[in-house]
C-alpha cells in the first residue's frame, strides 16, 4: 500500500498529550493517530449487507427448535410487539 502523508495541526497541549500517550505505549505519535482513526472511521463493513454480517458471525440459524417458516410466515408475526 502506498503511503500518503496527511498533516494535522495540533495546539501545544494536544501535541504534549499525544507525545506522552505515545511514549507510555512505546509507539510513535503517528502510530497512535493511525490507531485512533482506524477506531473512529467506518470500516469497509458498510458495503456488506446485514445478512452477510449476521451469516459471518454465526447468527443465521442460531435459534434452535424454531418453526422452519419463522421468518417468512406472516401469521407468526400476529401480536408481535403488542402487550
Q: Where exactly are the structural domains of the chain?
A: 12-77
Average pLDDT in the chain: 87
**Length of the chain measured in residues:** 83
Which is more confidently placed, 53 or 23?
A: 23
Whether pTM exceeds 0.85: no
- The answer to whether 18 and 31 have CB atoms below 8 angstroms apart is no
pLDDT in tens, 28-66: 999 999 999 988 887 766 677 888 888 888 888 777 888
Which residues 6+ apart lie within 8 Å of 31 measured at CB? 22
Q: In the structure grid, which three cell numbers stand for residue 48, read together?
A: 456488506
Amino acid at each position: 500500500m502506498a503511503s500518503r502523508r496527511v498533516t494535522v495541526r495540533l495546539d501545544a497541549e494536544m501535541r504534549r498529550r499525544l507525545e506522552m500517550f505515545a511514549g507510555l505505549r512505546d509507539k510513535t505519535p503517528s502510530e497512535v493517530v493511525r490507531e485512533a482513526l482506524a477506531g473512529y472511521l467506518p470500516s469497509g463493513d458498510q458495503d456488506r449487507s446485514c445478512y452477510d454480517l449476521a451469516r459471518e458471525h454465526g447468527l443465521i440459524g442460531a435459534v434452535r427448535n424454531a418453526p422452519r417458516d419463522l421468518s417468512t410466515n406472516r401469521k407468526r408475526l400476529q401480536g408481535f410487539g403488542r402487550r
